[in-house]
Structure formats: C-alpha cells, structure tokens
Amino acid sequence: MNDTAFKELRIPLRHLTLAAKAWGNPADPPILAVHGWLDNAGSFDRLAPLLDGHYLVAVDLAGHGRSDHRPAGTWYPFADYLDDIGKLIKRFGWPSVDLLGHSLGAALVSTYAAICPQQVRRLLLIEGLGPLTQSADKTLDQLRKSHAARDSFTSDGLRVFANLDEAIAARCHSGNLSGQAARSIVERGVKAVAGNPGGSGIDSTWQVPGTTLTGLDIRSGDGAACLDTRQASAGLSWSSDPQLTVPSSTRLTEDQLADVLAAIVAPTCLILAEPNAPYMPPAMVENRIALLGEIEVVRMTGTHHLHLEEPQPVATALREFLQRHSS
C-alpha cells in the first residue's frame, strides 16, 4: 500500500450495520483489524498503509466509531463481539483471513482464533492475548458491580466539546496519547451535537458516502467521510455508546482461559510494549504465551498505542513475521 488512501465501508449484518476503513486491493490476501475498547478503526490509520500486499479492513466494533449501537436495553458482552467477527468474515466470503488486533481487539481475535481455527491463517496481536480474567472468588462481586451499573445507567449528561481540538486534548489526557495519535481516533469518534451545546440532544450527522457491501456486490464510493459542518458549531460529543462503560457481568478465570488459548493453532505474532501495561503483568503474560504452540514475541519500548505512536517498527515486525509464515 504505502499510501494513506482508503475507502469507507458500510457492512450490513443481520442485526446492525458496521462501519470500516479499507486499505489496499480487495484481490490481495485479507487482514481483518480490530481495535481496542473505546477506540475505533482510526487506530490503524498509521499502521495499515505500511502493510504492503494485503487488503486490510479495519472495522469499527459495534457501539464504536461510526458503527451502529446495539439496541437500547442490550449491552456489550464479549461473546457478542465474537459473533460479529464471524459474521464479518462470512459477509466478505473469506475462506481464511489474517486477524490483527490491538488491546480488546487482540483479546477478541485471539479468542476467535481458538473458536474457529480453520478460518484464521495467521494471528497478529498488539498488546493483548486473551481477555481480562478474574479469580473465581470475585465472581459474585463482579455480578453485583455489573448489576448495579446497569440498574443505575443513564445516557444523560454526555460531555460536549466546543470543537475537535478540545476533544483531542481530552483524549490525550485520558489515554496517554500524543496529539497526532489522538487525532486519528477522535476524528472518527465524535459526532455533532444538535441544538444548544449545554443540552443533551445528539444528532448523528456523519456523512459517509462510502462503499456498501451487499451480498458479494460492492458499490464503490469515494472514501470521503466528515462531520456535517452545519451541525459542528453546536459542539461535539463522543459517538461511542455510553453503555460500553458498564462493566461485564462475568469474566473467565485464568484456568478457563488456558483451555481456550491452548486451542490456537495459527502462527502468532505478539507485540508488547515496554514498560508493560498494569493489567498485563509479566508473569500472567508469560503463562499465556506458553500455551501457544507457534508464537513469536516482539517487545518494543513504547506505550499501549505503540502501533499508532510509532507504526514503522511495528509494521516491520509484522511484515517480517508474515513473510516467514507465507506458505
């Protein structure tokens, strides 16, 4: 690829429509890229153009970016994302695919590779191998915390920003990101507020004249996507579903997860930032790595979003891995 040109995709599934960005030639081997929690497909803006010879589709997970939210009264359990990944692969008609994931995305694609090993050619993980876990004696506490959060949930009081720069500054502060890295995510992760900036009315005014996948037919678009500037002066708010912040009701234990990860057969590349993230203690990560039969681990100095902050060394590691496992 080696350029930043991409197309916007709208991918209708049975129950909702997902948005995505696609780089490269659809005739090339596919990579499905999955972002982290409260990020979106913009997370791969700087990495995707560096992965030559592949058709890379970076999806906005349900409730993120420009994808549909799940229906009111439903939530975002981990397993439902796995269903969405499976439906995406079928929608594109890929007999097998390389899966690339960052953080939550890495947890999802590594789990999917265990569930459906015949569909996954190679596994590319950045800052994640399996989901968050919890000891069995915390099960009731987790259920209570999730139940209380669901019971008290309200979507009122969404934060409103005067302009894009203010939203970028907020994301830099909360996510330990540089301005350039935050911009890639924020530009895709806000929407215009209708009416008074102090009010709660939100108008989803994204104009996305991109490609729609209907069966196996693709209607070409120009890839442009922007906020409706008629509404932008009223302020901006996050486009992600506030329900994403409600904690999960259950988590696997490490023993349960071990049963899952041991089923991964795809050659795997795991890229880890140093120093490690607090929720990825080295001993736990090493135990998980030992469960995989064919895995290469690359450690790089950087932050959790190292693929967005310093994409070149990450791309080099992934390209070299893909070349070694090209047969």
Bridge pairing between strands 30-34 and 97-102: parallel
Say what the pLDDT of residue 210 is: 52
What pTM value is reported for the model? 0.90
The amino acid present at 120, given as its one-letter code, is V
Instruction: Note whether 203 and 231 are within 8 A (CB).
Output: yes
Catalytic residues: 103
Which residue's entry shows tokens 């599934």? Answer: 13
pLDDT tops 50 at residue 222: no
Distance CA 200, CA 194 (A): 8
The CATH number for 7-324, chosen from 3.30.70.120, 3.40.50.1820, 3.40.50.2300, 3.40.50.300, is 3.40.50.1820
Q: How many CB atoms lie within 10 A of CB 50?
A: 18
**Cα–Cα distance for residue pair 85/94, rounded to 1 Å:** 12
Peptide bond into 275 cis (omega under 30): yes
% pLDDT > 90, the chain: 79
- Looking at residue 211, what is its pLDDT? 55
User: Given this model, what pLDDT does residue 158 score?
Assistant: 78
User: What's the pLDDT score for residue 175?
Assistant: 81
Q: How confident is the model at residue 3 (pLDDT cuts 50, 70, 90)?
A: low
Work out the average pLDDT over 230-239. Answer: 71
Cβ within 8 Å of residue 190, ≥6 positions away = 161, 164, 167, 227, 236, 237, 238, 239
In whole angstroms, give the CA distance from residue 23 to residue 29.
12
Q: Average model confidence (pLDDT) for the chain?
A: 89
| Residue 2 confidence (pLDDT) | 55
Highest mean pLDDT among 4-13, 232-241, 310-319: 310-319
Q: Which three-class secondary structure state does DSSP give residue 271? A: strand
pLDDT value of position 325: 97
For position 31, what pLDDT does the model report?
98
Quickly count: other Cβ atoms within 10 Å of residue 63's Cβ. Answer: 20
126 neighbors 149 (Cβ within 8 angstroms): no
Whole-number pLDDT of residue 213? 53
Count other C-beta atoms under 10 Å from residue 278's C-beta: 6
Domain edges within the chain? 7-324
The more confidently predicted of residues 231 and 248 is 248
| Contact (Cβ atoms closer than 8 angstroms) between residue 21 and residue 90 | no
In terms of DSSP H, where are the helices of the chain? 78-92, 104-115, 139-152, 164-175, 179-186, 229-232, 254-261, 282-289, 306-309, 311-324
Query: Which residues make Cβ contacts (< 8 Å) with residue 88, sequence separation at least 6?
Result: 11, 13, 18, 32, 59
How many CB atoms are located within 10 Å of the residue 246 CB?
17
Out of 190-194, 223-227, 255-259, least confident range:
223-227
In angstroms, rounded to a whole number, what is the distance separating the alpha carbons of residues 322 and 170? 36
pLDDT digits (tens, 9 = 90+) for 101-111: 999 999 999 99
SS3 letters for 27-83?
CCCEEEEECCCCCCHHHHCCCHHHCCCCEEEEECCCCCCCCCCCCCCCCCCHHHHHH
* Each residue's pLDDT tens digit, 112-166: 999 999 999 999 999 999 999 999 999 999 999 999 999 999 877 678 999 999 9
pLDDT digits (tens, 9 = 90+) for 242-285: 999 999 999 999 999 999 999 999 999 999 999 998 989 999 99
Chain segment 54-84, per-residue pLDDT in tens: 999 999 999 999 999 999 888 999 999 999 9
